[in-house]
Amino acid sequence: MMNLKDSLRVASVAAVLLAGSCAAPMNDGTTFSSDPAVNHPITVAPHFTALKLNFSAADAGLLPDDAARFEAFVADYASRGSGSISISAPQGSDAAAIIRYFGTRLFDMGVPRSRILVGTHDGADQRVEIGFIAYAASTNPCGDWSKNLGDTAANAPSPNFGCAVQTNIAAQIADPRDLIGMRAADPIDANRRAAVIGNYEQGKITSAEKSKDQSGAVADVDK
């Protein structure tokens, strides 16, 4: 027969085990993680972006509104485009002149000739089409309230947990290609490298000289 001391010890251990079982999550077969990146992974996929413009003659050029749209489109290509930019002119005797006009405009705006693809298309649409491939980051749509949020016995996250955060991250990424892999390193500045190595070999300071405006001194206004 247990005495009072042993009974109290058993009761204390049972209370601790009971409290622990209430705090720990139950294994009810849920597949939702506490990591939003697992529940709502960000995917990156390419998509074709195109701009169609009315164009009559190379000597007339573009109307002011179309010219502004064209410049904005090329700027968008420069910031997030991948690979080449294409020019598709309607088939006809003016196709070569149209391609030459837009090719020159693109080159003058900084697009290398090696990245300009040209071609023609037939059909009723007589507009000129400029297009490029861009990458977009996205995640699965939010709003999955299939689970009862009042049922907290399992202490598990809901299906919608972290979806808004992942969606905001996907929308704020400047270049979704950064999620696929590292960017290529910029070319080495051969002149700067030679200068640094030469100073090092001569025992000189290898860092660039700082001007007075680049001083890290603390202001002495209150001294």
Is 129 within a domain? yes
- Reading the block at residue 95, the tokens are 């196709």
How confident is the model at residue 43, as a pLDDT?
92
Model pLDDT for residues 135-171, shown as the tens digit of each residue: 999 998 998 888 888 887 777 888 888 999 999 999 9
How many Å apart are CA 46 and CA 134, to the nearest integer? Answer: 6
Is 12 within a domain? no
How confident is the model at residue 166, as a pLDDT?
93
Is 211 within a domain? no
- Whether the pLDDT of residue 108 is over 70: the answer is yes
Domain tally, the chain: 1
Is 200 within a domain? no
Smallest Cα–Cα separation from 136: which of 38, 48, 8, 4? 48
Is 187 within a domain? no
CATH of the domain at 73: 3.30.1330.60
How many Å apart are CA 60 and CA 57, to the nearest integer? Answer: 5
| Mean pLDDT over each residue of the chain, to the nearest integer | 81
- Whether the pLDDT of residue 42 is over 80: the answer is yes
Is 9 within a domain? no
- Whether the pLDDT of residue 22 is over 50: the answer is no
Is 20 within a domain? no
pTM, entire model: 0.58
- Residue type at 152 in one-letter notation: T
Is 195 within a domain? no
User: Residue 102: which domain range?
Assistant: 31-145+155-181
